[in-house]
Chain A
């Protein structure tokens, strides 16, 4: 069975500093990996995905993530955090063997708090 671990419930960072939100995964085949963000009272918004190709994936709002197969990780990063980045971030994985549907397995979420 596939699984996702987000080891940090909360990450605090000062505005202007780099941020990292950690994610590790487990799947039986090759993974499709995703990051979604949830702002208060809003739905989850797609940030970026890794399907194949370059291990460094760039997404919305200046975020990027690095796929590391040997460490089974897909950490989310941003060079310079903004207060407006404060939100709940979810990592998700889909096993390529699941067929046509997008039956995603999510992590428990990491609350990012960016302070002035």
Chain B
């Protein structure tokens, strides 16, 4: 079974530019999550999709961040315009609905560096 795939693995951009991160969850996983780890600190929740619907976006830092999951398959996280404090590793995770929902499968992360 293919795992959670994230692209790009590393992106370096200038402050003010736009970056779009993509996540392909495990096929059949309706739950999709975005998390972020900044500067070696704790991994923080950003938002949660169930299929194409945003279930909880309470962790999104501000309106410069936009997440979508068209068709309930892959998801994108756009940062526009990027600021220095947005640098970090963005993790995507997915899980089944129902009994398997508690165990998340994470991708390798997309490292974002804003200069």
Contact = CB atoms under 8 A, between A and B. Distances in A.
Contacts of A90: 43
Interface string B83-115: 000000001010100000111111111000000
B103 A42 contact: no
Contacts of B35: 104, 106
A44 B106 contact: yes
Specify which of B35, B50, B95, B102 lies most central, judged by the most chain A CB atoms within 10 Å of its CB.
B102
Contacts of A34: 102
A107 to B, nearest CB: 6
Interface in B19-66: 31, 33, 35, 40-45, 48, 50, 55-56, 58-59
Given A49-B103, A100-B101, A101-B48, A43 B91 contact: yes
Chain B interface bracket (under 10, 10 to 19, 20 to 34, 35 or more): 20 to 34
A43 B55 contact: no
A101 B56 contact: yes
A108 B105 contact: no
B67 interface: no
A41 B109 CA distance: 8
28 contacts: A4-B42, A32-B102, A36-B106, A41-B108, A42-B108, A43-B105, A43-B106, A44-B104, A44-B106, A46-B103, A100-B55, A101-B33, A101-B48, A102-B31, A102-B33, A102-B48, A102-B101, A102-B104, A103-B45, A103-B48, A103-B58, A104-B45, A104-B104, A106-B35, A106-B44, A108-B40, A109-B40, A109-B42
Given A43-B106, A101-B31, 9 more contacts: A34-B102, A36-B106, A44-B91, A44-B106, A94-B102, A103-B56, A104-B43, A106-B35, A109-B42
Interface of B: 3-4, 31, 33, 35, 40-45, 48, 50, 55-56, 58-59, 91, 93, 95, 101-109
Closest 9 pairs between A and B when the two form their complex, measured CB to CB:
A43-B106, A44-B106, A106-B43, A43-B108, A101-B48, A108-B42, A43-B107, A106-B42, A103-B45
